[in-house]
Structure 1
């Protein structure tokens, strides 16, 4: 028995925030000092490294659980299932519901419970819980659902990745330009064919790396009461290009597929240069050149929405909304992610 994705759905906010929107922003160094460079130069360098030209933010009347509900409804419709037959709802996020203009995350009740409530699922045997695993949370949720189904305790699972990062960024930190909002969801079901999840790999590095991403004070020393998402960018880059390629390689070897059979790599949309370096090092482990169009990217238009990047990317490709990228029955693909914890994971999947 294999486990397959039978439906996908996503919510991409309509509000486009282009890089030009940050031209009058007051960016500061971590010590509170001003940058010597102009915002024009800061933004141009930012685009060159991350590939981001614009990102999406949700409207003020929507929250993380709201957009997750919309993505979930679309995934359920796409799968053509009865929502009452869902055994598990696994919701990957990191900050809970953060209302517009507020700073405190709300996780009581869990966001998974909120989505189940919004879906109006009556079945108490549908178990809903949240997954806190950094940006790789959605993949880890899929891995857990796979285990539930293969063990026989579940037949159908809904796995969600959603975040509204625009509400927990320090406006004085230039890294704030990276983050975005979005939601993606999939239905996972048992399958009797050779398609679906073939192998997976996960790891948590916490001895030295636990606080590469953390909650910290504003770079504006006069506004120190509220904490925001912070990161040690250089350390994260070095960590990612070191550990993600090997995690992907181990996963591929376990699957018994040849690297030449891989059609697409759907990697967490964190940073264009970093993702390119990860994929390049992955292929170098097999003494291969990176194939053309192997890595679809949406970060240029959607930014980094953490746990939502991969499920939204998958849904967009399957719905024909990513130019020059398509998936066909029988294609072998790799999902891979890296993020706070520090965590890495990968899945080899056959469409």
Structure 2
């Protein structure tokens, strides 16, 4: 079983940035007013943020990082680690983390690399950057996580267009053997279901061809081409509803976590229907389960840090919290974590770019 514990590392701050453009669910032209209201009641998604045509995930993360570094009073020359977790990078080559090192003015001594993960990228990223910092040879690091998934969905595909919003985030961590946050992790992977959420063309397995842009009608309000995101909602729900509780229960059993004693259960913000099913299955108090999807939709890997910035900023700064995180991403990739904070985690005010 893939369990992992990180000690000697403190989360110093979290910042998030969303695009300026708001897209309201009620303005969608391909559904009747009655159908839209049913959709909002089911998913809870009232609006989302959409990136401009020339705005990338790295742009949102960069804005968030500049703000957080300034507010923490960090000297950029002391930052020796940058991890970028996303599946909407700037280029196929080079890694977006390398361009972010230059844009942020970090030293050339900085270690930088990408993680090609979507919705599970934040929890995966925390475990990786935490382990790299825990030895103490690297003192400060930045975890940048986000996606601009709106660029990959078809307006004519009701299964994806109305769900995904864009956002970027940054989490600042540092080596601290005296006042650290306790981080425990559990991971699972099932690649047999990768076809339930993927983009068929554009990689090296199926390169772009003229046929990639031909729109296909799949019925039930779904039209897309092979460069668009394909998502089988039924399969995703079934998988997530099964594996997320399994992951949380495995984490709780392995680390003797009493879920009644957690302060907050921060899930990947997929949609209301799925989140509520998982919450009820795990018997978590709704007052302990913050949601950001009504205003931002499913923001992929940024959804957990975005939720913490929007809903938990005061308590993260002023209290020691026992947090439970869980997420599922394409692949399928599943990750859960317990974060017992030592308090004093600075959250920037939500940025809009």
- The TM-score, its normalising length taken from structure 1, stands at 0.84
Cα drift, residue 305 of structure 1 = 1.3
**Unmatched 5+ stretches in structure 1:** 26-37, 98-105, 284-289
Rate the CA distance shift 1:164–1:315 in 2: closer, same or farther, 3 A. Answer: same
Cα drift, residue 344 of structure 1 = 0.5
Rate the CA distance shift 1:83–1:255 in 2: closer, same or farther, 3 A. Answer: farther
Q: What does the per-residue CA deviation read over 1:14-70, in whole Å, with 9 as the maximum and x for residues that have no partner?
A: 211111221x23xxxxxxxxxxxx533432232122110001112344221111101
Distance 2:313 2:316 in 1: 9
> Where do 1:1-351 residues align within 5 Å?
1-22=7-28, 24-25=29-30, 38-97=31-90, 106-121=91-106, 123-175=107-159, 176-193=161-178, 195-206=180-191, 208-216=192-200, 220-221=215-216, 227-283=227-283, 290-320=284-314, 328-351=318-341
Q: Is the 8 A contact 1:270 1:304 kept in 2?
A: yes
Q: What does the per-residue CA deviation read over 1:282-310, in whole Å, with 9 as the maximum and x for residues that have no partner?
A: 23xxxxxx324111001000111111111
Cα drift, residue 80 of structure 1 = 2.8
Distance 1:330 1:224 in 2: 47
- Matched with 2:209 is none
- SS in structure 1 at match of 2:87: coil
Distance 1:127 1:74 in 2: 21
- SS in structure 2 at match of 1:177: coil
**Unmatched 5+ stretches in structure 2:** 1-6, 201-211, 218-222, 342-353
Cα drift, residue 197 of structure 1 = 3.3
Q: Is the 8 A contact 2:156 2:224 kept in 1?
A: no
Rate the CA distance shift 1:350–1:79 in 2: closer, same or farther, 3 A. Answer: farther
Cα drift, residue 109 of structure 1 = 2.3
Distance 1:215 1:302 in 2: 22
Cα drift, residue 347 of structure 1 = 1.2
Distance 1:219 1:45 in 2: 31
Distance 1:225 1:330 in 2: 48
The total of aligned residue pairs comes to: 318
Rate the CA distance shift 1:76–1:235 in 2: closer, same or farther, 3 A. Answer: same
Cα drift, residue 336 of structure 1 = 1.1
- Which deviates more from structure 2 when the two are superposed, residues 211-220 or residues 83-92? 211-220
Distance 1:3 1:256 in 2: 21
Cα drift, residue 263 of structure 1 = 0.6
- The TM-score, its normalising length taken from structure 2, stands at 0.83
Distance 1:127 1:327 in 2: 28
- Which deviates more from structure 2 when the two are superposed, residues 212-221 or residues 244-253? 212-221
Distance 1:267 1:219 in 2: 36
